[in-house]
Amino acid sequence: MKSSANRNKNGLNIIIVGCGKVGCTLVEQLSHEGHDITIIDKNSTKIQSLTNLYDIMGLVGNGASYSVQMEAGIENADLIIAVTDSDELNLLCCTVASRVAKCAAIARVRTPDYSQESGYLRDKLGLAMIINPELEAAKEVARILYLPTALEVNAFAHGQAELIKFKVPKDNMLVSMAIYELSKQIPVKFIICAVERNGEVIIPTGNFTFEEGDYVSFVATRPDAREFLKKIGFKTNQVKDTMIVGGGKVAYYLAKQLINYGISVKIVEVDKDRCEELSVLLPKAIIINGDGTDEEILKEEGISYAESFVPLTGIDEENIMLTLHAKRCSPAKVVTKINRITFKDVINNLDLGSVVYPRFITAEAIIAYVRAKKNSMGSNIETLYHLFDSRVEAIEFKVEEKSAVTDIPIMNLSLKDNLLICFINRYGKILLPNGQDCIKVGDSVMVTTTHTGFNDIGDILK
């Protein structure tokens, strides 16, 4: 356990209950951003491992226990985050904390029954946030299946703007074209935010020239994004059907969303009881009781002509093998869910198409809240995404007060290098700004940057 003598004065005091995948990701990112972290878990080995790795405090015990929370310093904490495997324990941790101290509380809640009541639970228990990693992962997979030529689709401005990533194919019109030339040729508004080439990430200027194999992220309104992709030679129609292997919570949430959009869903699940549950929960889906890792069953169920294929087993290695198999025998759009982040370089070198990491989705939502809470200036973080293996941050700020960035033409602002203002959301209208536009109080502003740890819109200035 770490001594409290050299605790950071500027960061928040944060207690994290639960040292699973999400807990570890939060410890890594929040300690890196300068917060004082105390972790609680019943597993002493996990506590020992994390306190050896990071400059944090650790406590072995039940995080919902009043005495354990008191020992962890709940009375002086700014925030408690409960991310154990038990929804009930997470809610109890937060309830105890909110009764004892004035700290904010965030609970991870995964059960569909509770998720439907998340607004009620949040209000009645006084929680700052309830987050459901499986539901958020399903939303991310669904966004990709609605636009299957994209590798990633991230939503901003309450879904009005999208940040979309694609790979420049061989012989595409973009090859050897500069961004300023593309702007003249494509009659829709878009902004190229970031490009990865040979492992290096660039925040490009107008003179940047595309090459085959570039990974490109751009921002546009939802209709303009589809029009832009169409103009550069990509298909933009959503998939008609999908085959899902594994019938867990993500599969349930995903199937529910896809069916609402008129997409046919087939789920292959090995557990007979779970199949019966899913048949009741999802009457419009086809539920197959069988081993989805069996090549013959996949062939029988039509993998060779499925438009999309999503392996959602609980085992990363199985998901990866199923993806590679599907890419070999099917033209399907494939989305791979991966829970762990070990061997990331190996994973990046495999052709897995779109990859979704539920633990990162959860961590990003919580980190956005933490940064907004830490900031006492005139703006708040609305949305945060990490791109290109966390080397780029895409952040949406709500501008709430006048500051050094407001009412000044963007061309006259002294912006940091490797930073781009991508859009301004003004009263629900998305503006892709030019040099003459100004940021005004009440706007939401989205930036992409290779800098990390921005808390306030003022951080964009040198």
Please report the pLDDT score of residue 6 as a whole number. 40
- Residue 76 DSSP label: G
User: Would residue 2 count as lying in a domain?
Assistant: no
Same domain for 107 and 47: yes
Phi, psi of 261 (to 5 degrees): -95, 10
Measured distance CA(417)–CA(437) in Å, rounded: 19
> For residue 2, is pLDDT > 80?
no
User: Would residue 5 count as lying in a domain?
Assistant: no
Measured distance CA(216)–CA(164) in Å, rounded: 8
* Number of independent structural domains in the chain: 4
Q: How far is CA 179 from CA 86, 195, 421, in A?
A: 49, 11, 16
Measured distance CA(363)–CA(359) in Å, rounded: 6
Among 231, 262, 280, the domain boundary falls at 231
**Mean per-residue pLDDT, 170-195:** 93
pLDDT > 70: percent of the chain: 96
Same domain for 335 and 412: no
Among 304, 322, 356, the domain boundary falls at 356
Among 329, 356, 383, the domain boundary falls at 356
Q: Is residue 348 very low, low, confident or very high in pLDDT (cuts 50, 70, 90)?
A: confident
- Pairing status of strand 13-17 against strand 79-82: parallel
Please report the pLDDT score of residue 399 as a whole number. 92
407: left (phi over 0), alpha (psi -120 to 50) or beta: left
Same domain for 369 and 411: yes
State the chain's mean pLDDT as an integer. 91
C-beta of residue 106 within 8 angstroms of C-beta of residue 119: no
Query: Is 273 in a helix, a strand, or coil?
Result: helix
Query: Is 30 in a helix, a strand, or coil?
Result: helix
User: What are the tens digits of pLDDT across the range 79-120?
Assistant: 999 999 999 999 999 999 988 888 899 999 988 888 788 888
User: Would residue 39 count as lying in a domain?
Assistant: yes
Please report the pLDDT score of residue 347 as a whole number. 77
Q: How far is CA 24 from the centre of its chain?
A: 16
User: What are the tens digits of pLDDT across the range 185-218?
Assistant: 998 999 999 999 998 999 999 999 999 999 999 9
Which residue matches tokens 């995964």? 110
What pTM does this model have? 0.86
Same domain for 261 and 215: no
Please report the pLDDT score of residue 266 as a whole number. 98
Same domain for 220 and 161: yes
- Residue 90 DSSP label: H
Q: Is residue 1 very low, low, confident or very high in pLDDT (cuts 50, 70, 90)?
A: very low
Q: How far is CA 325 from CA 219, 245, 310, 375, in A?
A: 32, 13, 12, 47
Q: How far is CA 267 from the centre of its chain?
A: 24
**Domain CATH code at residue 66:** 3.40.50.720
Q: Which long-range contacts (CB under 8 A, 24 or more apart) does 356-359 make?
A: 356/137, 356/140, 356/141, 356/144, 358/133, 358/134, 358/136, 358/137, 358/250, 359/21, 359/22, 359/25, 359/133
Measured distance CA(311)–CA(243) in Å, rounded: 8
Same domain for 100 and 79: yes
Same domain for 378 and 446: yes
Which residue matches tokens 């033209």? 331
Q: Is residue 376 very low, low, confident or very high in pLDDT (cuts 50, 70, 90)?
A: low
Candidates 318, 323, 386; CA nearest to 350 is 323
Same domain for 104 and 86: yes
Same domain for 350 and 255: yes
Same domain for 329 and 285: yes
Element (H, E) at 190: none
- With residues binned 3-state (H G I as helix, E B as strand, rest as coil), the percentages for the chain, rounded to 5, are 35, 25, 35
419, β-bridge pairs: 449
Same domain for 210 and 296: no
Measured distance CA(13)–CA(20) in Å, rounded: 20
Q: Is residue 239 very low, low, confident or very high in pLDDT (cuts 50, 70, 90)?
A: very high
User: Would residue 143 count as lying in a domain?
Assistant: no
Please report the pLDDT score of residue 199 as a whole number. 87
Measured distance CA(110)–CA(133) in Å, rounded: 7
Q: Which structural domain range is residue 329 located in? A: 241-356
Q: Tokens representing 358?
A: 């539920």
**Mean per-residue pLDDT, 48-76:** 95
C-beta of residue 204 within 8 angstroms of C-beta of residue 177: no
User: Would residue 40 count as lying in a domain?
Assistant: yes
Please report the pLDDT score of residue 268 as a whole number. 97
Q: Is residue 452 very low, low, confident or very high in pLDDT (cuts 50, 70, 90)?
A: confident
Return the axis-axis angle of helices 249-260 and 133-146, rounded to nearest 10°.
40
Please report the pLDDT score of residue 38 as a whole number. 97
**Domain CATH code at residue 430:** 3.30.70.1450
Please report the pLDDT score of residue 378 as a whole number. 59
- Pairing status of strand 308-311 against strand 241-245: parallel
Q: Is residue 5 very low, low, confident or very high in pLDDT (cuts 50, 70, 90)?
A: very low
